[in-house]
A and B are shown apart, each in its own frame.
Chain A
Amino acid sequence: MRQLFSFIFPDQASNLAPSVDAIFFALVVLCSVITLLVFVVALFFCVRFRRGSKVDRTPPKGGTLRFEIAWTLIPFFVFCGLFFWAADVYFAMSRPPGGATEIHVVGKQWMWKIQHPDGRREINELHVPVGRPVQLIMTSEDVIHDFFVPAFRAKQDVVPGRYTTEWFTPTKPGRYHLFCSQYCGTNHSTMVGWVYVMEPAEHARWLNQVAVSESLVAEGERHFHSRGCSGCHAPNSQIHAPLLEGIYGKPVPLSDGTIVIADEQYLRDSILLPNKQVAAGYEPIMPTFQGRISEEEVNAIVAYLKHLTDSERSQQ
Chain B
Amino acid sequence: MSAVPMQAAPQYAPALQPTYLNVQRTIRSWLLTTDHKRIALLYMVSITFFFFVGGVAATLMRLELLTPRAELVTSETYNKLFTIHGVVMLWFFLIPSIPTVLGNFLVPLMIGARDVAFPRLNLASWYLFMVGGAFTLFSIITGGVDTGWTFYTPYSSTYSNGHVVAMAAGIFIAGFGSIATGLNFIVTVHTMRAPGLTWWRLPIFIWSLYTTSIILVLATPVLAITLALMALERIFGVGFFNPAIGGDPLLFQHLFWFYSHPAVYIMILPGMGVVSELIPCFSRRPLFGYKFVAVASVAIGVLGFLVWGHHMFVSSQSIYAGMIFSILSFMVSIPSAIKVFNWTATLYKGSIRFQTPMLYALFFIGLFTIGGLTGLFLACLAIDVHVHDTYFVIAHFHYIMVGGMVMAYLGGIHFWWPKITGRMYPELPAKLAALTVFLGFNLTFFPQFILGYLGMPRRYPVYAPEFQVLNVLSTAGASILAVGYLLPLTYLLWSLRYGRIATPNPWEATGLEWTTHSPPPKDNFETTPLVTAGAYKYDSQAAEAQREVAHV
User: Which residues of A does B touch, CB under 8 Å?
Assistant: 7-10, 19-20, 23-24, 27, 31, 34-35, 38-39, 41-42, 45-46, 49-52, 56-60, 64, 67-68, 71-72, 75-76, 79-80, 82-83, 85-87, 89-91, 93-94, 109, 142-144, 146, 148, 150-151, 153-157, 159-162, 164, 177, 179-190, 192, 290
Instruction: Provide a sorted-by-A list of 29 A–B residue pairs whose CB atoms are within 8 angstroms.
Output: A8-B450, A19-B382, A31-B373, A35-B369, A35-B370, A38-B366, A39-B366, A49-B351, A51-B3, A57-B349, A57-B541, A58-B541, A59-B349, A68-B342, A75-B333, A76-B331, A86-B326, A90-B326, A90-B382, A93-B382, A154-B385, A160-B242, A161-B248, A161-B249, A162-B316, A183-B155, A183-B458, A183-B459, A189-B460
Cβ 8 A contact of B159, one of A82, A142, A182: A142
Interface membership of B32, Cβ < 8 A: no
Q: Would you call A51 and B544 a contact (CB within 8 A)?
A: yes
Additional 5 contacts, C-beta under 8 A, given A23-B383, A161-B244, A188-B75: A31-B377, A51-B547, A52-B351, A181-B389, A183-B389
CA distance A267 to B365 in the complex (A): 54
Cβ 8 A contact of B362, one of A41, A46, A142, A290: A46
Q: Would you call B544 and A187 a contact (CB within 8 A)?
A: no
Q: Would you call A90 and B330 a contact (CB within 8 A)?
A: no
CB-nearest residue of chain B to A46: B352
Knowing A8-B450, A155-B314, A186-B76 are in contact, say whether A143-B159 is a contact too (CB < 8 A).
Answer: yes
Knowing A51-B547, A75-B337, A160-B243 are in contact, say whether A186-B457 is a contact too (CB < 8 A).
Answer: no
Q: Would you call A160 and B386 a contact (CB within 8 A)?
A: no
| Closest beta carbon of chain A to B472's beta carbon, Å | 13
Contacts of A49 in B (CB 8 A): 283, 347-352, 540
CA distance A234 to B460 in the complex (A): 50
User: Which residues of B does A touch, CB under 8 Å?
Assistant: 3, 70, 75-76, 79, 146, 148, 150, 152, 154-155, 158-160, 242-244, 248-250, 283, 288-289, 292, 313-316, 319, 322-323, 326-327, 330-331, 333-334, 337-338, 340-342, 344-345, 347-354, 362, 365-366, 369-370, 373-374, 376-377, 379-383, 385-386, 388-390, 450, 453-455, 457-464, 466, 469, 540-541, 543-544, 547
Cβ 8 A contact of B352, one of A8, A50, A159: A50
| Closest beta carbon of chain B to A140's beta carbon, Å | 9
Q: Would you call B362 and A20 a contact (CB within 8 A)?
A: no
Contacts of B544 in A (CB 8 A): 51-52, 57
Contacts of B326 in A (CB 8 A): 83, 86-87, 90
Contacts of B377 in A (CB 8 A): 24, 27, 31
Q: Would you call A75 and B334 a contact (CB within 8 A)?
A: yes
CB-nearest residue of chain B to A16: B382
Knowing A10-B453, A52-B547, A156-B314 are in contact, say whether A189-B385 is a contact too (CB < 8 A).
Answer: no
Knowing A31-B373, A35-B369 are in contact, say whether A42-B347 is a contact too (CB < 8 A).
Answer: yes
Cβ 8 A contact of A90, one of B315, B319, B362, B454: B319
Q: Would you call B376 and A38 a contact (CB within 8 A)?
A: no
CA distance A184 to B155 in the complex (A): 7
CA distance A94 to B318 in the complex (A): 10
Q: Would you call B450 and A83 a contact (CB within 8 A)?
A: no
CB-nearest residue of chain B to A82: B380
Q: Would you call B460 and A159 a contact (CB within 8 A)?
A: no
CA distance A189 to B75 in the complex (A): 8
Knowing A51-B543, A155-B385 are in contact, say whether A150-B454 is a contact too (CB < 8 A).
Answer: yes
| Closest beta carbon of chain B to A124's beta carbon, Å | 14
Contacts of B453 in A (CB 8 A): 8-10, 24
| Closest beta carbon of chain A to B371's beta carbon, Å | 11
| Closest beta carbon of chain A to B272's beta carbon, Å | 15
Knowing A87-B323, A90-B322, A109-B159 are in contact, say whether A79-B457 is a contact too (CB < 8 A).
Answer: no
| Closest beta carbon of chain A to B533's beta carbon, Å | 16
CA distance A83 to B313 in the complex (A): 14
| Closest beta carbon of chain B to A88's beta carbon, Å | 8
Knowing A57-B349, A159-B250, A160-B154 are in contact, say whether A82-B376 is a contact too (CB < 8 A).
Answer: yes
Q: Would you call B243 and A57 a contact (CB within 8 A)?
A: no
Q: Would you call A143 and B154 a contact (CB within 8 A)?
A: yes
Contacts of A59 in B (CB 8 A): 349, 541
Q: Would you call A160 and B373 a contact (CB within 8 A)?
A: no
Knowing A83-B330, A160-B244 are in contact, say whether A51-B351 is a contact too (CB < 8 A).
Answer: yes
Contacts of A58 in B (CB 8 A): 349, 541
Contacts of A9 in B (CB 8 A): 453-454
CA distance A189 to B350 in the complex (A): 52
Contacts of A159 in B (CB 8 A): 243, 249-250, 315-316
Contacts of A192 in B (CB 8 A): 464
The 4 closest A-B pairs by CB, nearest first: A161-B243, A150-B455, A90-B381, A86-B380
| Closest beta carbon of chain B to A213's beta carbon, Å | 31
Contacts of B353 in A (CB 8 A): 50-51
Q: Would you call A144 and B351 a contact (CB within 8 A)?
A: no
Knowing A51-B547, A186-B79, A189-B461 are in contact, say whether A20-B389 is a contact too (CB < 8 A).
Answer: no
CA distance A49 to B289 in the complex (A): 19
Q: Would you call A27 and B455 a contact (CB within 8 A)?
A: no
CA distance A187 to B47 in the complex (A): 32
CA distance A79 to B373 in the complex (A): 11
Q: Would you call B155 and A79 a contact (CB within 8 A)?
A: no
Cβ 8 A contact of A60, one of B349, B369, B466, B541: B349
CA distance A69 to B334 in the complex (A): 12
CA distance A311 to B74 in the complex (A): 52
Cβ 8 A contact of A31, one of B3, B354, B374: B374
CB-nearest residue of chain A to B373: A31
| Closest beta carbon of chain A to B287's beta carbon, Å | 10
Q: Would you call B334 and A10 a contact (CB within 8 A)?
A: no
Cβ 8 A contact of B249, one of A24, A41, A80, A160: A160
CA distance A59 to B543 in the complex (A): 13
Q: Would you call A45 and B344 a contact (CB within 8 A)?
A: yes
CA distance A177 to B158 in the complex (A): 29
Contacts of A20 in B (CB 8 A): 382-383, 385-386
Contacts of A71 in B (CB 8 A): 337-338, 341
Q: Would you call B382 and A41 a contact (CB within 8 A)?
A: no
CB-nearest residue of chain B to A24: B383
CA distance A164 to B243 in the complex (A): 14
Contacts of B365 in A (CB 8 A): 38, 42
CB-nearest residue of chain A to B545: A57
Contacts of A68 in B (CB 8 A): 289, 292, 338, 342
| Closest beta carbon of chain B to A214's beta carbon, Å | 29
CA distance A67 to B341 in the complex (A): 9
Contacts of B340 in A (CB 8 A): 38
CB-nearest residue of chain B to A156: B314
Q: Would you call A79 and B333 a contact (CB within 8 A)?
A: yes
CA distance A164 to B318 in the complex (A): 11
